[in-house]
Amino acid sequence: MKKTLKKETPQAKEIQVKEFPNYYFIGLFLLTTVIFFAGQLFGTSFFWEDFVEYVYPVQTYAALAASQGSIPFWNPYVFSGMPFLADLQVGFFYPLNRLLSFFIDSNGHLSVWGLQFVIIMHFFIAQITFFFLLRSKNISQMGSAIGAIGYSFSMMMVCHVIHPMIVYHLAWFPLVFMFFIRAFDESDYRFGIAAGLILGISMLSGHPQTTLYLAFFLGLYYIWHLVNNIKNPEKSKFVISIVSGAAAFLVALGIFQIQFLTSNELADMSIRAEMTVEKSAEGSLEFKQISNFVNPHQFGKITGDAANPTNFNLILANGEQAPYFYYWETAFYFGIVIVLLGFIGLLSTYKDKFTLFLIIMTAIGFLHALGSNFFVHGIFYNLPFFGQFRNPARMMIYVVFAFSIFAGIGFDKLLKVSFNELKNNMFISIGIVALLVIISIVSGNAGDSSMNSALLGLLYFSISAALAYMFGNNKVNYIVAGAVLTIVLFLDLYLAGSDFNQSKEDPKLAYQMDGKMLESFKSNPPENIFRVNTRSYSPPYMATKRNQGMVDKFMNTEGYNPLVLQRVNPALNTADEIYDLLNVKYVLKFNSQTNQPFFEENFDRLPNAWLVNKAHIFNALDVSDNMKSGNYDFTKEVILEDAVKVNLNPDEEIKSKVVCREYKANYLRYEIMNPETNAILVLSEIWYPAWKVFVDGLPAKLHRANYSLRAIEIPKGASKVELRFASESFALGQWITIVTLLISLPLLVINLNKKK
- 473-481: average pLDDT: 87
Task: Count the Cβ atoms, other than its own, within 10 Å of residue 354.
Answer: 17
pLDDT at 448: 66
pLDDT at 273 (0 to 100): 63
Q: Which helix (H) or strand (E) holds 144?
A: helix 141-152
Residue 740 falls within a domain, yes or no?
no
Full domain range(s) for residue 443: 21-162+284-501
Q: Say if residue 429 is in the same domain as residue 492.
A: yes
Question: Each residue of 46-86: pLDDT tens digit?
Answer: 999 999 999 999 999 999 999 999 999 999 999 999 999 99
Q: How far apart are CA 247 and CA 182, in angstroms?
A: 13
Q: Which pTM value belongs to this model?
A: 0.94
pLDDT digits (tens, 9 = 90+) for 187-226: 889 999 999 999 999 999 999 999 999 999 999 999 999 9
Mean pLDDT (whole number) for 721-737: 98
Report pLDDT digits (tens) over 591-623: 878 889 999 999 999 999 999 999 999 999 999
Q: What is the mean pLDDT of the chain?
A: 93
Q: Among 270, 298, 331, which residue terminates a domain? A: 270
Q: Supply the pLDDT for residue 720.
A: 97
DSSP designation for 594: T
Q: Are 206 and 89 in contact (CB under 8 A)?
A: yes
Q: Could you tell me which residues come within 8 angstroms of residue 697 by beta carbon, excluding any fewer than 6 positions away?
A: 720
Q: Look at residue 40 and tell me whether its pLDDT is greater than 60.
A: yes
Residue after which a domain boundary falls, among 574, 601, 628: 601
Q: Between 232 and 83, name the one with better pLDDT.
A: 83
pLDDT at 445: 58
Tell me the percentage of the chain whose pLDDT exceeds 70.
96
Among the listed residues 255, 214, 266, the one whose alpha carbon sits nearest the alpha carbon of residue 90: 266
Average pLDDT over residues 723-732: 98
Note the pLDDT tens digit of each residue in 317-371: 999 999 999 999 999 999 999 999 999 999 999 999 999 999 999 999 999 999 9
Give the confidence band of 2 by pLDDT, cuts at 50, 70, 90: very low
Q: Rounded distance, CA 745 to CA 256, Å?
A: 15
Residues 489 and 531 in one domain: no
Residue 468 lies in a domain: yes
Confidence of residue 670 (pLDDT cuts 50, 70, 90): very high
- Determine the Cα–Cα distance for residues 371 and 166; give it in Å rounded to an integer: 20
**Could you tell me if 213 and 315 lie in one domain?**
no
Q: Which residues contact 694 (CB under 8 A, 6 or more apart)?
A: 700, 721, 722, 723, 724
CB of 40 closer than 8 Å to CB of 493: no
SS3 471: helix
Q: Based on the fold, state whether residues 58 and 106 are members of the same structural domain.
A: yes
On whether both 593 and 626 belong to a single domain, the answer is no
Q: Look at the chain and count its residues.
A: 756
d(CA 709, CA 582): 9
pLDDT of residue 16: 63
Whether the pLDDT of residue 235 is over 80: the answer is no
Q: Which uninterrupted H or E stretch holds 17?
A: strand 16-18
- For the chain, what is the domain count? 4
**Per-residue DSSP letters for 120-133?**
HHHHHHHHHHHHHH
Residues 6+ apart with CB under 8 A from 676: 655, 656, 716
Percent of the chain clearing pLDDT 90 (strictly above): 80
Name every residue whose Cβ is closer than 8 Å to that of residue 556 and which is 6 or more positions away in sequence: 77, 78, 79, 80, 531, 532, 533, 534, 544, 548, 549
Does residue 12 belong to any structural domain of this protein? no
Same domain? 259 vs 323: no
pLDDT digits (tens, 9 = 90+) for 139-166: 999 999 999 999 999 999 999 999 999 9
Given pLDDT bands bounded at 50, 70 and 90, which one contains residue 275?
Answer: confident
The pLDDT value given to residue 230: 82
Least confident of 34-38, 438-442, 562-566: 438-442
Predicted local confidence at residue 545, as pLDDT = 95
Residue that finishes a domain, picked among 501, 530, 551: 501
Q: How far apart are CA 413 and CA 426, in angstroms?
A: 10
- Judge whether 278 lies within some domain: no
On whether residue 97 sits in a domain, the answer given is yes
Whether 745 maps to a domain, the answer reads: no
Angle at the Cα of 498 from the Cα atoms of 95 and 63, rounded to 5 degrees: 25
Distant-in-sequence, close-in-space partners of 376: CB < 8 Å, separation ≥ 6: 364, 367, 368, 370
Q: CA of 424: how far to CAs of 414, 427, 573, in Å?
A: 12, 5, 74
Number of H helices, E strands in the chain: 26, 20
Burial degree of 650 (CB within 10 A; 0-12, 13-18, 19+): exposed
Helices (H), 163-300: 164-185, 189-203, 208-229, 235-269, 277-280
Question: What confidence category does residue 476 fall into, taking pLDDT thresholds of 50, 70 and 90?
Answer: confident
Report yes or no on 9 lying in a domain: no
pLDDT at 444: 61
Taking only Cα atoms into account, the Rg of the chain, rounded to an integer number of angstroms, comes to 30
Does the pLDDT value for residue 250 go beyond 80?
Answer: yes
The verdict on 200 and 78 lying in the same domain is no
User: Does 203 share its domain with 88?
Assistant: no
User: Are 51 and 146 in the same domain?
Assistant: yes
Higher-scoring residue by pLDDT: 280, 229: 280
Same domain as 258, residue 368: no
Let me know if 569 is exposed, middle or buried by CB neighbors in 10 A (0-12, 13-18, 19+): middle
In a domain, 11, yes or no: no
CA distance 332 to 442: 21
Packing angle between helix 353-369 and helix 336-349, nearest 10 degrees?
130
**Residues 303-320 as b or e (16 or more Cβ within 10 Å = b):** bbbeeeeeebebeeeeee
| Contact (CB, 8 A) for 315 and 516 | no
Residues 239 and 290 in one domain: no
| 156 and 192 co-located in one domain | no
